[in-house]
Structure 1
């Protein structure tokens, strides 16, 4: 499909630079046979007893580092962990780097450039490894806010809290599973009171999620792989809920991509551990989920293509036009939607 089919115009003032307070006060657009405006706080009443919410419990690490190669300033954003001391990263400006260069982040924390790829991507071998590397990242890194937020204002201490979900526990993401940012402990209690169940899976979101689609046709786009985990007990629970007629509600596109990667052709989930580079566009047959909760995504992005595959391209274009007119807030810190599948 032509990438231009997924384009739309978003006024700059619709981009959220802070989340709603409280989190469940964010707007929620229900997209089904018609459009309905709600708040995230209304979700317990919009779902049914016996439904199951699937969250992503990945935790964002301070994956953006600022250093120097001799006198040149270099910024790197880690996106894929390949060994205890090695990551692939996006570097700016990458043209100033060559293989064997050393980037210095502090007197005792450096990285060696071991390989260069297209698109500003490099392979880095750090002077620290494993838990020590994580300590160095905590000391010298910053939360890697998406460029559409970091270009509006500097990252600050508040972002360390705001850019994590309440489920975050498994360190490894360099971007938040943003649909999960809307949930609070009080809201979870309301789900439980309604007989709505919850489970978590893990997909470590990579910085590739922010990369623009630069090709003209979706068939020519190469997705970055992300590492995920679905254990046997969670897979069993999800299968059990579907068998008894409950609906599987994916909280976010990251949970969706993991579930679809773990499902067989009959829609039965199996334990999963590994990488997925699944790229979902219109025409894809969804096997594992029934409803999707997700934020509002960038024009011509792989995520807008995914929601268009789920609910229909024309439906999503109409939904986004409505959201823009009704002053919904877009992207990571913005409002969200509850999507029904295309009939």
Structure 2
């Protein structure tokens, strides 16, 4: 997702065929961007769940974080910092992978994630943060990835999590997240507007933007005070699907989590230094009342379509963040220490 000033950058890019289908360009735009829901007194001001954090010793990282960093040139694996952030409302920690040149400090990330209500937050797996010129992000429907400084954009965190909720618990089934249902398209076109210009980039983004509005409705105040009459059918639908997840209630605790990934070594230098125990698969934690859930595997054709959509969402986030093959995130200037040269 992008913040309002940067919509033109996204739309200047070539929209791939897999995401080309979206709400009609002729539809109106209710907001100039959902940063309007951040502050004052909005999503940005939500009280985060109290947390503690523990940094992993240098040497090993979750395989997902390693693959994402290395395959996309987002970060030298030796420069990855891994934290387990344990919130007071969930005994299973949220694992954060942060490149040390990310402009977001670990406590900023932990606080922003902690502002997400636990019943929704528990549908996110790993949270990753990399360098970028501009705040942007994407979801693979299980995990959320952020570029640049999104510290003043809680709506971006709500947006990315809305993609996860959309696939797993709301409008799309696990088999058709990549296209969304005809019912959702019909619901959108019953109105005369969408949330904002970014919503027109695809039906998925249209849903996630209304997901942010539903999050505002469940955590701040009624979204209907924002005069959403031109898109009331969309709002009613998504609020109906997600309100029980977004709405904070005293004493709420998590009751599920995605099983953690295999742990791997950062590379030969880490192994040579003795900081890499044997590679191992992560064990599912046994906690009363909290269920461990495996990431599901789709049939081949469904998986290919899903992966194609994720790739395009990722590409859009990279373009917005100022990342390209000629200027990878790993080479951006860092405020942190210079990492060890990586040898593949």
Tell me the TM-score normalized by structure 1: 0.28
Q: Which has the higher strand share?
A: 1
Q: Which has the higher helix share?
A: 2
Tell me the TM-score normalized by structure 2: 0.28
